[in-house]
Structure 1
């Protein structure tokens, strides 16, 4: 049996439990923006990203200009939003009395406020939260909270309360174990992906409860006219001419891994359409395809990677050219998928903490 993966970059510097606890214990809005807790919040991006899949973005905030009543650390799907002002996101919301912190699937209200005013925006936000919550199997979320109390009367904290879809409430003096907190965060990121899909299903059903504007869709893929190729060159021309739409999460994952490979001494290129990226070092050439694992479905991501890698390596390279193949994933895809990839001659790499983990072939090639 293969090892579940080897962590090939720096060890985790901070534990999630320690980070959340430290902010809760140290935060005091009367100390302004230069306090130790504010520094922890501003540095949360680098730390929190070790616990979430590649392609997602983390951000911490204790206010803009002045210290806020309820500081937060958010996780954004960049295809949905990169700000707490609009769209849906996962966020740790600290209560104003610093006694509890809520891990919540929440929604931005700023855009709704501009259109409808405060009172109507809150009503619409709550209505939309109920509609999104309804798409989940009750048995899957029965242990989560439909309401949160941030112990504040200021505008933004109350908005957050109305925007809550699902939440887990922690007492800051009695936090669960590190393992439990990481599992909860990763669970909420998966619920986030499912909620985004569910919201659009509700919208398409004509339900008026969904009031936030839909995310702008990427341009449609260019369709290639039907043809009967006479040679491999015909296939290659068709493949190279196709238009492939990349999501922001996908682009972020490719960028992060490309920077890692560059630091490891590889020559990396991303302008190699339709491939995601290629890397060269020590006379070895690697063809790399990146896949976002959606809602924890590693099988689907691995299947897509296999198809593209085998297809591209066959049609885009001469038979005499040795090509190493790498499937890059935003998170672990499971031991069985890794074993299959290894049997097919494909190295597997996935985001793991601050670094990258990989299959034996990936480790041997210096790819993680």
Structure 2
């Protein structure tokens, strides 16, 4: 249903708009059937399929009075904005030629026009978009490259205000499920950004608060987390998936299987497990906390990455009882490397696959 609605807009909007503009004045939007699709049908389908929280509203627009070059459907967090002119929000934007559309995390352009003069609005919104990109944790699905909408009026403002996006081509629209999965992923990024910049993005990036960004990172940022904040465990996605940019290429997400099995084993002892967006697994007992970084590859790059992550984690939690740091690896490291790691308080736990499940070497109690 959702895919078909987007497909209809891409296929019929320009031809229906031409017919509408050929009607004698005064014209009524009731004579433009695509208005119903963008303003009502698409928002209803998105709300119905995405199961959004009450604070989110979905609004579509083809313009007020005149039909715009770039219609849009926006998802607003009512704490931040309920208008496409201010704040920041998610937006489906159709390009002026209707060959593709984007799902974007977008800033309202009009707020910058009102706050600054001359060329300053363009410079300020572009700068804010770049700064916001450095604060979000992109999972790889979303592009940080500029979007290309065309159009003479709203298009340039949308392009400058885009923080990240995913592009859908007219000839290769994804399934309803893929569209909703992308929306949920971007909603997660939207929530994370709100934790950092608050509800007023214009104020945040026009003030000194935007300079020392580390001081205002969310509680689960690797630069500002507390062991006491990791109070629950959330399983990761596991199983087969595809790369968005290469839909015919399959990948198997096994990382979550290893983390889930490790959490299960540690929970059998006197350890309370938890995780967050950055920490694969934390296990706490009365005598301290252990942090685990799980890798599914035994490459040097995986090893170096794990070391860097654990060293970073070890510098946090000042005043808390950081007990041990562990790399969880699919094979053992050589004796010399293990000795070097121990100097930095890092131990190695290995695992092997038995009947499709990871089996671990000796685990901490």
TM-score (norm 1): 0.49
Higher relative contact order (CA 8 A, sep 6+): 1
**Structure of greater Rg:** 2
